[in-house]
Amino acid sequence: MKMRLLTLLFGIAFGSVAWAHACPSVMAEIDAILEGDEVPSHVEADVLAEAKALREDGERYHDAGKHAEAMDALERSLALLGGEGDEDVYEE
């Protein structure tokens, strides 16, 4: 029983660290799309505004230590922009 509890606590502690390190790389990927010529021409202005807002939300969540919420917002932003992301980064 003690070993299971220790394993659970270890997983929680280091799982959140992995998510915390994924946030900046996803933010950088979104920024590269927004700053470059990679935004698909079919992306409407309102969708682009929503993607930018989600990216900002993701950074605020990350700064507040809410990494699951940050990754959710960042992944949605990336999806709106047509980015593919790195599937391995998002795994817990």
Task: Give 74's contacts (C-beta < 8 A, 6+ positions apart).
Answer: 23, 26, 27, 30, 54, 55, 58
Distance CA 24, CA 30 (A): 10
The distance between the two most distant Cα atoms of the chain, rounded to a whole number of Å, is 56
How many structural domains comprise the chain? 1
pLDDT tens column, 32-86: 888 877 666 667 889 899 999 999 999 999 999 999 999 999 999 999 988 765 5
pTM above 0.85, yes or no: no
Structural domain including 27 reads 2-90
Nearest-10 crossing angle of helices 45-63, 67-80: 160
